[in-house]
Amino acid sequence: MAGRLHSIVCSIGNPGSQYAGTRHSVGHLMVDLVREHLRAAPFQTVPGLKGAVTLARGSAGDVLLFRSDSYMNESGGPVRAVVKHAAREYGGPAPVAIVHDELELALGQIKLRTGGSARGHRGITDVIARLGTKDFYRLQVGIGRPESRRPNDVADYVLGRFTRYERQVLLETSFPLLLDALARVK
């Protein structure tokens, strides 16, 4: 058994290359950047987990990074499985932070919150249902909102890819803010 974890950081989004680089999967992009920043080993699949993990050594302690391979709206099962895996492998529970897209935040904004409702985010709704609690961190990555609120327009927007400019904002503005927010996960 390894030492205790400081935290478990999970990205939720949609799986596969067709969703890579989309707004809905910005959590995956952010967790990939965290892995690179902390110089952690590449993600590895683990039997029984629907996703991949790597252990990163952060200044506050070890962080288990998890990249879910399920669809956004079915994220709870894989998150629950990695939380159980971490408790077995690392000697007990650790704070959980879910990194996900947030329509209600402008591009370049990050918000760290704990508890409360899912506020309409179906991935977070499933995580709450599967963990049986609302008491976990949410690292909301702002992707902005399209002008139209029609469901089909919103779906097209979140499943759309970031522009070059938007990606630059994520790298130069969102990512440093995300690192600051992760430092407050305890």
Tens of pLDDT along the chain (186 residues) come to 466 799 999 999 999 999 999 999 999 999 999 999 999 999 999 998 999 999 998 777 899 999 999 999 999 999 999 999 999 998 888 999 999 999 999 999 999 999 999 998 999 999 999 999 999 999 999 999 999 999 999 999 999 999 999 999 999 999 999 999 999 998
Can you give the pTM of this predicted structure? 0.96
Pairing outcome for strands 7-11 and 61-68 = parallel
Question: Which pLDDT score is estimated for 91?
Answer: 85
- Predicted confidence at residue 3, as pLDDT, reads 66
Report the pLDDT value the prediction gives residue 60, as an integer from 0 to 100. Answer: 75
> Domain of 152?
7-182
Q: Report the number of distinct structural domains present in the chain.
A: 1
The answer to whether position 149 is within a domain reads yes
Position 66 scores a pLDDT of: 98
Q: Is residue 170 part of a domain?
A: yes
Residue 175 falls inside a structural domain: yes
Residue 132 inside a domain? The answer is yes
CATH of the domain at 106: 3.40.50.1470
In a domain, 2, yes or no: no
> Is 74 domain-assigned?
yes
**Active-site residue list:** 24
Distance CA 56, CA 64 (A): 6
Residue 112's Cβ-count burial label (10 Å; 0-12, 13-18, 19+) is middle
Structural tokens at position 147: 């002008």
Q: What confidence score (pLDDT) does residue 4 get?
A: 77
Cα distance between residue 46 and residue 34, in whole Å: 20
Q: What is the pLDDT of residue 123?
A: 96
